[in-house]
Structure 1
Amino acid sequence: MPLASDALLPVTPTLGWVLALLLAAAVAIVALAGLSPDARTRRAPQVLRAGLRAAAQLAAVSLAIGWVVRSGWALPLFLLLMYGVAVRTAGRRITAGPAWPWAALPLAAGVVPVVLLLLLTGLVPYRGITLIPVAGILVGGALTATVLAGRRGLAELGQRHGEVEAGLALGLAEREARMEIARPAASDALLPGLDQTRTVGLVTLPGAFVGMLLGGASPLQAGAVQLFVLVALLAVQSAAVAVTLELVARGRLADAPAG
């Protein structure tokens, strides 16, 4: 017998109080432990703002998706909005300079081919109720991988600038010299996806699996959907990291200029 959706997490005033308590605890822990990269960056207010922003955005999206699902012409606009927000977020996380729009390339390289494959094969129909959550999962995975690869690659280049100069002195092209330094660090962006895939079913039961079960699917169906999501994410994130690394090596995605 399938579980009712509110059996897992009923939407009641108690849920609101618990969420507020958890957010306050997160803010307090970050502040007390000094979990900030430097004196100018205060992570505790960022945690608070992120939680409040998530609540507002999810409330708005919950209302908007109902309308988008019923309006076929609004679906591509909603998907473009998701993509645009992801590009802005990824780009600004990597660099504060004018190069942030280059983040559009790794996100598109990862997500677009997979979404087209799913639509062309009929595995995901062109309906908002199915396409929006699938695209959201893939865009979110590409966003995380792009940010991690870009930040790690640029940080490594900044710390080991002398080695890049040594490579240039030995006759390497600038791209090759930068690539040799940035590649190992940027490749670490694949680790969260790899760990999630390796431990699925043993350490965690991801959202797609639980959601399918709550929707009445059999455990076998839920497992198949979750496997698809994880493998698709591996493909999306691999492409995103590869393109991000190339952009970093070519100097397209770069730190903000000094001054």
Structure 2
Amino acid sequence: MNGASITIGPTLFPVLAALTLLAATVFGLTRLGSGAAVVRAAARAVLQLGAVSLIILTVLESWWSTSAFIAVMYVVASLTSARRISSARAGWVAALPIGLGVLPALGLLLASRSLPATPLAVLPTAGILIGGAMTATTLAGRRSLDELHARHGEYEAGLALGFGRRDAVLEVCREPAGQALVPALDQTRTVGLVTLPGAFVGVLLGGASPVQAGVTQLLILVALLAVETIAIAATVELIARGVLRRDPSPIGRIGPR
């Protein structure tokens, strides 16, 4: 067994259970939220990763199954983001910024041959990019709509000054939405100093040289910056145009007056 691999043995699941219980207890006792949410998330991770581990080799046997699996990831990411921002009914709206961020970045990686056009390379890369776009869309959407509710007076003041509804919304939510890029920026700034992200470790464990692992991780991090920036910008625009919103909304349906 590779000395860098996680040991699968009788102590693994008790350790996972203990960590989950620790997180749930702290989350609940400090009133940050429901500890049950932590337990449910961990349980879902176990079930989902278990299922993926069983089917992933079959999925990677053809482009058809790989493409279908990526499509499933995309749909789940869109519904998850929509549910966090507004409701699952807005899934098709959340799908727009996620797709607008992922498609050009993944297309450029493949067209330039920086990423090998093989299911084994494309599937995990697509998953990383979709996950990053989902997180950025969720954070930008939630922060923007929270600000619009909290700073409704500033929105009204913008209208009074002659701003169009779209411009008045953008004045309120541009800066808060931009904060959604902070995690990606911090991860990129501190890579190699604070963290060794998954792509680096995975490529290294796969037998590649540290230089190859570093280049792979750099490519992923920069691609994520592009993906998340586009997703955030698209999310803000959808909110400014009233396409993505919460009901009831204190500003009604937003659009050019």
How many Å separate the matches in 1 of 2:91 and 2:211?
A: 42
Residue 167 (structure 1) aligns with:
158
Residue 216 (structure 1) aligns with:
207
Q: Does residue 50 of the first structure (1) align with residue 47 of the second (2)?
A: no
1:225 to 216, 229, 251: 216
How many Å separate the matches in 1 of 2:232 and 2:204?
A: 32
Q: Does residue 29 of the first structure (1) align with residue 29 of the second (2)?
A: no
What SS does the aligned partner of 2:115 have?
coil
* Conserved? CA contact 2:147–2:176, under 8 Å: yes
The number of aligned residues is 249
* Conserved? CA contact 2:83–2:90, under 8 Å: no
Report deviation, 1:136: 0.5
TM-score after normalising by structure 2: 0.93
2:4 to 7, 11, 35: 7
* Conserved? CA contact 1:97–1:256, under 8 Å: no
What SS does the aligned partner of 1:181 have?
helix
1:121-154 C-alpha deviation (Å, 9 max, x unpaired): 2222332211110000000100110000000000
Report deviation, 1:198: 0.5
1:167-202 C-alpha deviation (Å, 9 max, x unpaired): 111110000000000001000000000000011111
How many Å separate the matches in 2 of 1:182 and 1:100?
A: 21
Report deviation, 1:156: 0.3
1:181 aligned partner, one-letter code: V
Report deviation, 1:31: 1.1
2:129 aligned partner, one-letter code: L
TM-score after normalising by structure 1: 0.92
* Conserved? CA contact 2:79–2:88, under 8 Å: no
* Conserved? CA contact 1:110–1:142, under 8 Å: yes
How many Å separate the matches in 2 of 1:214 and 1:97?
A: 38
1:188 to 179, 191, 215: 179
How many Å separate the matches in 1 of 2:231 and 2:71?
A: 18
What SS does the aligned partner of 2:14 have?
helix
* Conserved? CA contact 1:97–1:255, under 8 Å: no
Residue 98 (structure 2) aligns with:
107
* Conserved? CA contact 1:100–1:253, under 8 Å: no
What SS does the aligned partner of 2:99 have?
helix
* Conserved? CA contact 2:82–2:88, under 8 Å: no
2:10 aligned partner, one-letter code: P
1:200-224 C-alpha deviation (Å, 9 max, x unpaired): 1111111111111111111111111
- Alignment RMSD (CA, Å): 1.4
Q: Does residue 16 of the first structure (1) align with residue 13 of the second (2)?
A: yes
* Conserved? CA contact 1:96–1:256, under 8 Å: no
* Conserved? CA contact 2:82–2:89, under 8 Å: no
* Conserved? CA contact 1:94–1:100, under 8 Å: no
Any stretches of 5+ residues in structure 1 without a counterpart? 37-42
What SS does the aligned partner of 1:74 have?
helix
Runs of 4+ off more than 6 Å: none
What SS does the aligned partner of 2:63 have?
coil
Report deviation, 1:100: 3.8
How many Å separate the matches in 2 of 1:155 and 1:12?
A: 46
How many Å separate the matches in 2 of 1:130 and 1:99?
A: 31
